[in-house]
């Protein structure tokens, strides 16, 4: 399961400030929830970002629970505004 989260960074005035705001979110999610995390969109915009998080689990319920916690974690940062969140499923049994 994966989730992409689009963010508005109203306090960011440069790409350097932007990276400083995003680093604790990405590193924190990786360390706390053992997910893959990366910046996946809007890399050249100061006040926008899109982050992607992915998890592999033995059941869909476990994956959804981890992604729920990641989303709450991102929402906990007062310096960012979540604009949207989209979940994506990959079912390996279909292929």
pTM given for the model: 0.90
Site of tokens 């360390």: 31
Q: Chain-centre distance of CA 44, in angstroms?
A: 17
User: pLDDT confidence of 89, banded at 50, 70, 90?
Assistant: confident
Q: What is the CATH number of the domain that holds 18?
A: 3.30.70.1120
Residue-range definition of the domain harbouring residue 85: 2-94
Burial class (CB in 10 A: 0-12, 13-18, 19+), 48: middle
Cα separation, 27 vs 50, in Å, equals 15
**Residues 90 and 3 sit within 8 Å (Cβ to Cβ):** no
Number of domains in the chain: 1
Helix (H, G, I), strand (E, B) or coil at 19: helix
- For the stretch 48-77, pLDDT in tens is 999 999 999 999 899 999 999 999 999 999
């Amino acid at each position: 399961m994966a989730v992409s989260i689009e963010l508005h960074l109203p306090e960011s005035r440069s790409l350097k400030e932007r990276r400083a705001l995003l680093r604790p979110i990405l590193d924190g999610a990786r360390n706390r929830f053992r997910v893959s995390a990366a910046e996946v969109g809007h890399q050249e915009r100061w006040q926008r970002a899109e982050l992607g998080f992915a998890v592999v689990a033995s059941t869909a319920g476990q994956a959804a629970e981890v992604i729920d916690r990641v989303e709450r974690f991102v929402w906990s940062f007062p310096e960012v505004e979540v604009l949207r969140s989209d979940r994506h499923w990959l079912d390996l049994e279909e292929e």
